[in-house]
Amino acid sequence: MLNAVTHKNHNPNDGGAAEVDGLNALSDASLVARIARGQHAAYSVLVMRHANRYVAVAEKVLYQRQEAEDAVQDAFVKLWQKADQFEPETAKFSTWFYRIVVNQCLDRKRKKTADALPEDYDIKDDSNGPEENLVEDQRAQQMQQAMDLLPERQKTAIVLCYYEGMSNKEAADVLEVNIKALESLLTRGRKGLKENLDKCLGMTAKDMLNT
């Protein structure tokens, strides 16, 4: 799906392999400046450079690979449309684009009528045996369910700080809040996650007793 964005906006007249090599050497900010001037090749390079990273972030929020890819595709389209709004003097590209991706994810979550965890979502480690995989799947599902019960901004704060390793300042910039508000989101998120995990674990134990 993301390849469609790249191909759709790539113009053969932008140059050949030599130009692409030159663009690969540029910083993100320099590429965005070229995108703002309508250079499709710069856009393609930026998509290829960062697509997988941001899809991984979106998947932690949305729990579905296809949904995550669609959200990131929409985010890259917005990047193309709003490249002239990027101000490298006041924000890093990663922080600026994280904000676009997170907003796309939250918009998709708000549009859903049900917030249930997809039945086909799982995480497997093929290096383990069947029993170990079952335990890992159960733990992963419990964590995902517990995360999904959190308010969206608390969950996003946890994803950015604990999964993506952002500093509090970087995460606060993405969520457009001050550091104190971000810390409050994290505190409430951690508390809520623990409570939700206790509920999920309790439900699991109850189900096992009823089988």
Higher pLDDT, 170 or 204: 170
- For the chain, give the mean pLDDT: 80
Of the chain, the percentage scoring pLDDT greater than 70 comes to: 73
Work out the average pLDDT over 95-124: 70
Contacts of residue 66, defined as CB under 8 A and 6 or more positions apart, other chains included, come to: 1
Least confident of 18-22, 23-27, 66-70, 114-118: 114-118
Looking at residue 86, its pLDDT comes to 94
Query: Does residue 184 carry a pLDDT above 90?
Result: yes
Q: For the domain with range 117-211, which CATH number is right: 1.10.10.10, 3.40.50.720, 3.40.50.960, 3.10.20.600?
A: 1.10.10.10
Q: Enter the CATH code of domain 1-113.
A: 1.10.1740.10
Mean pLDDT throughout 181-204? 86
Contacts of 125 (CB under 8 A, 6+ apart): 132, 133, 136
Q: Would you place residue 147 in the very low, low, confident or very high pLDDT band (cuts 50, 70, 90)?
A: confident
The winner for highest mean pLDDT among 27-41, 91-105, 194-208 is: 27-41
Q: Mean pLDDT throughout 109-124? A: 52
Distance, in Å, from the CA atom of 207 to the CA atom of 205, rounded to the nearest integer, reads 5
For the chain, the domains span: 1-113, 117-211
pTM listed for this prediction: 0.66
Indicate if 117-211 has the same CATH topology as 1-113.
no
At 141 the pLDDT is 76
